[in-house]
Chains A and B, each alone.
Chain A
């Protein structure tokens, strides 16, 4: 399989941003016709390396060979010319154009003033997609496509440009389990016809399932490359973090307390008439973690907005969301917070923090009404500084600099730990609503965050966990509700979840059936 020259060979690549070494003498060989997984924590240098290969960044030193020839790209256009294509995590597609138009955009097979024959183009693209088993209607407007289909368009775009090396950045983050399966079989068939795939991911299960070779990056360096067949989950995790990690947080059983949150046939339609929640019902007791498993876009955001008081009031709501005799959806964010409800929203940077503010001001964010922090017309700076120090050490948050650096200078994991610290330490906390608590967070921090969540549960806090990572839902939940199309389609009870936790991937598949 690997005779002749390699598809791409990176030798001693270094790249620094200021004093930060993003890549430190990284050497990597991507074999022809193989799927090469590139794993590592956030900030380990995966993206920098792939951006160098794709021509978006220039290395400070080191050399790149593609197909045996030495290259130096000034722009992605040259990389594309050399047969390298990339699918970014956020798609680069134009929603108002059709599939075919999106695919040819930037490499139109026509002169500037010669008309493009859409018909023959669509035929060509239909054939291309059929050949690679990625059915998609070339004439459909992009905005009508599902996320999975959009991703297929991105891949087709690369194939149309005859890319022989495809770089995919976290391609499964937005896909449901069956869609992921489908993507993987596409990737396998692409590799089988001699193309190479570089798969950037942090999900080790996927690495083990689909790749031929895996390279692990840690703090800008290559921690090692090895054939996937000889790698284990535990070994890879250890290479990523640099130490032994607990892959599953201990989750001791606990007798649930009194009923706290009761959602009864909650329905919600957006102002433009799309039904997002359809008679969703669930009950949550104190000392319980209720995990909501589901692919994104099945009503999670709307449920969260109803629970924290930020929902669009000109949408249509019916049903009841009751917490200790109060209807939550009738209340605003302040009143809900005063009831002892805290929400950690899914998009941390947009909704939970002010990136430009310092750490201390962010610990105050949303808790600025607490009398304990007040002094005169402003805040009690000393108390705030003390509290900040206490929380930083208690929750192992490591700010980069001394003093009170802006939150944006912290890593994703540290930001999330800070948000978690702020919300878990709210006085009188009864219900914690957690959305994607470990998204963009590295493995080491995930472990700590999971432990904190279990601790809060043992303290008697009721926790509603919304996550698209099944592994996480299974590891933390007392009960699991499968959310699909705006309703809980199936619920796994305490016994089932406990058994499923031991069972592992079989249970994931079972949940997968109920959320698609």
Chain B
């Protein structure tokens, strides 16, 4: 009972402390925190465009958050969602570019999404394989793979695929694009939000089901909680690690659905804007639980876009401080509470 309360309390307390610290910093820069937050609220929730922007940003974060959360179950810390998202986005854009424009969306969309998941999964599997086969720490390998993904996509983009004198690939065919939220609901928000947001909710639900209700999820949890015991119980822990990494990478890759298929319709430099890294914060705040993760993604999506809208009052870096502080608080509180439990 008390332990369950604690689990909820830790993220909430962390968030409050981080927001309080953020307010203090805002005050220190000379602006009024109340004014800043009010302006943020108005510019995000006050207009359809604002809501759409928050939704759009949150959607990518759901995917990258899940990409961190799933490997977390087998005690792997996937810092590579950024690289996996890049690989997925690039693959999706190339796939969409290669497919004929007149292709039916029933074929085109799944094909592009499949390319994205496959690329993301493969990128993550590289780290998983290094871990299982050679014991390479996945934190280091995924960070390095992020750099490599950035360099490879950057190189291929400028030297091979970019439309001359731009930094993006040619737009993909109509048949592989996801409809925007305006077209779906008959709105005129003119925001980048698209069908992917629904997909994100469905995927989070499916992931929750997989982890909590299936035999595979059972073995995944067991392998994470007690690897030694799992080997005795005939659970192949190496295979579970590879599986969780591949799944995580695939989920990160699916983020391409939002960025490429739903919004840009091409791959461009700086497309991911650090969403992969923010996914770590999203997953940590949600305690790696897929359903809580939806809320945590919304919150970070709001901070991300809201920070932009008050850029004239306070530098948007300030909200990066709030994010980082939240994570620091969560990690410290967990450490403190586990100390007092064992002591």
Chain A residues in contact with chain B, CB under 8 A? 308-310, 332-334, 337, 343, 345, 350-357, 361, 364-366, 368-369, 374, 377-379
**Which residues from B are CB-within-8-Å of A309?**
234
Report B203-238 CB contacts with A as 1/0, cut-off 8 Å.
000000000011111110110011011111110000
Contact among B215, B225, B231 with A368 in the assembled complex (CB-CB below 8 Å): B215
**Alpha-carbon separation in the docked complex, A354 to B231 (Å):** 12
Contact of A350 among B219, B221, B228, B234 (CB under 8 A): B228
Q: Are B215 and A308 in contact, CB atoms less than 8 angstroms apart?
A: no
Q: Considering only CB atoms, which chain B residue lies closest to A347 in the complex? A: B228
Q: Is B229's CB under 8 angstroms from A365's CB?
A: yes
Q: Give the Cβ gap from A384 to chain B, nearest Cβ, in Å.
A: 11
- Cβ of B222 and Cβ of A351 under 8 Å apart? no
In this complex, the member of A343, A351, A364 whose beta carbon has the largest number of chain B beta carbons within 10 angstroms is: A351
B42 to chain A, nearest CB (A): 45
- Chain B residues near A366 (CB, 8 Å)? 232-234
Q: How far is the CA of A87 from the CA of B222 in the complex (A)?
A: 35
B233 contacts across to A, CB distance below 8 A: 333, 365-366, 368
Is B234's CB under 8 angstroms from A334's CB? yes
B122 to chain A, nearest CB (A): 25
Residues of B near A337 (CB, < 8 A) are 234
The answer to whether A379 touches B215 (Cβ under 8 A) is yes
Are A377's CB and B228's CB within 8 A? no
Choice from B218, B222, B231, B232 contacting A379 with Cβ under 8 Å = B218
With A353-B226, A357-B225, A378-B213: A310-B218 Cβ-Cβ less than 8 Å: no
* Max chain B C-beta neighbours (<10 A), residue from A334, A364, A378: A378
A-side binding surface: helix, strand, loop or mixed?
A: loop
Of B218, B221, B234, most buried by chain A (CB within 10 Å of CB) is B234
Knowing A350-B226, A365-B222, A368-B219 are in contact, say whether A333-B232 is a contact too (CB < 8 A).
yes
CA of A235 to CA of B275, assembled, Å: 69
- Nearest chain-B residue to A379 (Cβ)? B215
A to B CB contacts below 8 Å, 11 in the list: A309-B234, A345-B232, A354-B221, A361-B218, A365-B229, A368-B215, A368-B218, A368-B219, A377-B215, A378-B213, A378-B218
Q: Is the CB of A333 within 8 A of B231?
A: yes
Which residues of chain B have C-beta atoms less than 8 A from A353's C-beta? 226, 229
Residue numbers in A under 8 Å from B229 (CB-CB): 350-354, 365
Residue of A nearest to B212 (CB): A378
Within 8 Å CB of A343, what residues of B?
232
Chain B residue with the shortest CB-CB distance to A381 = B213
Point out the residues of chain B lying under 8 angstroms from A361, CB to CB: 218
Known: A333-B233, A366-B232, A366-B233. A378 touches B214 (CB 8 A): yes
Contacts of B219 in A (CB 8 A): 368
Q: Shortest distance in angstroms between B225's beta carbon and chain A's nearest beta carbon?
A: 5
User: How close is A432's CB to chain B, nearest CB, in angstroms?
Assistant: 14
Q: Which of B217, B218, B229 has the most CB of A within 10 A?
A: B229
Given contacts A333-B232, A334-B234, A365-B233, 18 further A-B contacts (CB under 8 A): A310-B232, A345-B232, A351-B228, A351-B229, A351-B232, A354-B225, A357-B222, A357-B225, A366-B232, A366-B233, A366-B234, A368-B215, A368-B219, A377-B215, A378-B214, A378-B217, A378-B218, A379-B215
Chain A CB within 10 A, most for which of B216, B230, B232, B233: B232
| Nearest 8 Cβ contacts at the A-B interface | A366-B233, A334-B234, A333-B234, A377-B214, A378-B213, A354-B226, A351-B232, A354-B225
**Cα(A361)–Cα(B221), bound, Å:** 11
Contact residues in B for A354 (Cβ distance below 8 Å):
221-222, 225-226, 229-230
